[in-house]
Amino acid sequence: MINCIKKANNKAEIYSIDEIAKNINKSVKFVRREVASGKLKSVKNNNKYLIDQKSFENWKNELDKDYQEFTSETEKISCKKIIDEKNDVVNFVNIQKEMKSIDAWENNKQLKDFNFIDLFTGAGGLSCGLTMAGMRPVGSVEIMPQAVETYKYNFSKIKGFDENVNDRDIRDSKIKKELIDSVKGKHIHLIAGGFPCQGFSIAGNRIIADPRNSLYLDMLEIVKRVKPDYVLMENVEGLRSMMGGKIEEKIISDYIKIGYQINVTVLNSADYGVAQQRRRVIFIGNRLGIKNFHPSPIYNDDNYVTVGDVLKKYLNMPENKDINHIFSKTSKEMQKRLKEIPIGKSLYGNYSDAWKKVDWNKPSCTVKENHGGVNVHPILNRVMTPRELATLQSFPEDFIFKGSKKWQLVQIGNAVPCLLGKAIGLAILKSFEKRENNNE
């Protein structure tokens, strides 16, 4: 499956994450998660993760083994069939009025006495959305330094924000203790997080959370110790079919064991005003003995927010690095090639999720980091700027990304769309407020 990196001059080499990703034909995001989980051993030097030859080869062997096991199992399963046969028990609630009238990101006076912790925070897309809904951020954990810098810069504007935000590794027991100690004396209403789904593997016929990639278990442990009223988990839709659907069953079972009733379904960001088709599986649970609410869709094929609706203001805007509106250098030959791409098609046939030209009159395809091979502008003969991509992710205009352009793209591509987060947050708040009213 994977070609080993060769040694130069018979000496063990040191590799960057980018070099390994290129060599094994995987995304940088995939390799970075393997490093973050501890599966791929590395050392940190000047904010860069470096991997030696032996560590790479040990990891590669395990990866090959996992791949063979996973392939032999999943070949028996139709992923689409599994997803189609899901019979989700979902309590949808109408949040259309609140989506229009509430934006606590812009108006801090709308913040409620509802505290949340965001794990695997990234740049803060989910945190931003939950804050928009009126929730108050009181704790976060993220390992990427550039994303932490972005988070600190933007969330410092929130009234009463006093988080001790640093790039932290959630696997470290000291970090867990620091996080838990930092919120002592505060009632934690919600813990949210999008854990990497690579944290599972097959052991015989059993589905286990792999101790080499314990991020899922780290979140479970923190929830168990903090005991928030609600838990929110976000992940890729493909998680539903992993190991024949048993991963989803395990997640639900693990949370039931610690007192949380879970409801799960797939939500599409475009249904909530995001100019992007982005489907995510959303787990919502509570230990209060009440209904979990998911937000009812607001938009559909007839009235989706389109690429043109949100990007037309940038058509004639000159480059402005202060707001992340940074152009890529594009030769005349490349401009010609980009111009000739049909709508919905990619510049490179074997990279269908990268260099894809979006439709001006429809929501965009999913925004991903893709090594800079981001969505192609449908009118201008260039790829989109970080600012335009952030807009497709429904980030507010005043949300500024830190780090080089490369790291801005990584943060934006990995983020949860803010308006999806807002819709979920409003649904959870409706569940909580219904309980509060019933107790009066």
Give the active site residues.
197
From residue 94, alpha-carbon distances to 53, 225, 296 in Å are 54, 32, 5
Q: Under a CB-based contact definition with an 8 Å cutoff, are residues 160 and 138 in contact? A: no
Q: Which residues of 281-310 are buried (b: 16+ CB within 10 A; e: fewer)?
A: bbbbbbbeebebbbbbebbeeeebbbbbeb
Q: Under a CB-based contact definition with an 8 Å cutoff, are residues 271 and 301 in contact? A: no
Helices 418-438 and 125-133: crossing angle in degrees, nearest 10, is: 40
Task: Please name which of 234, 349, 340, 325 lies closest in space to residue 284, comparing C-alpha atoms.
Answer: 234
List % helix, strand, coil for the chain (3-state, nearest 5): 45, 15, 40
Say which residues have a Cβ less than 8 Å from residue 265's Cβ, sequence separation at least 6: 86, 88, 90, 281, 282, 294
Q: Under a CB-based contact definition with an 8 Å cutoff, are residues 369 and 413 in contact? A: yes
Residue type, 332: K
From residue 256, alpha-carbon distances to 221, 224, 252, 277, 429 in Å are 13, 11, 6, 31, 21
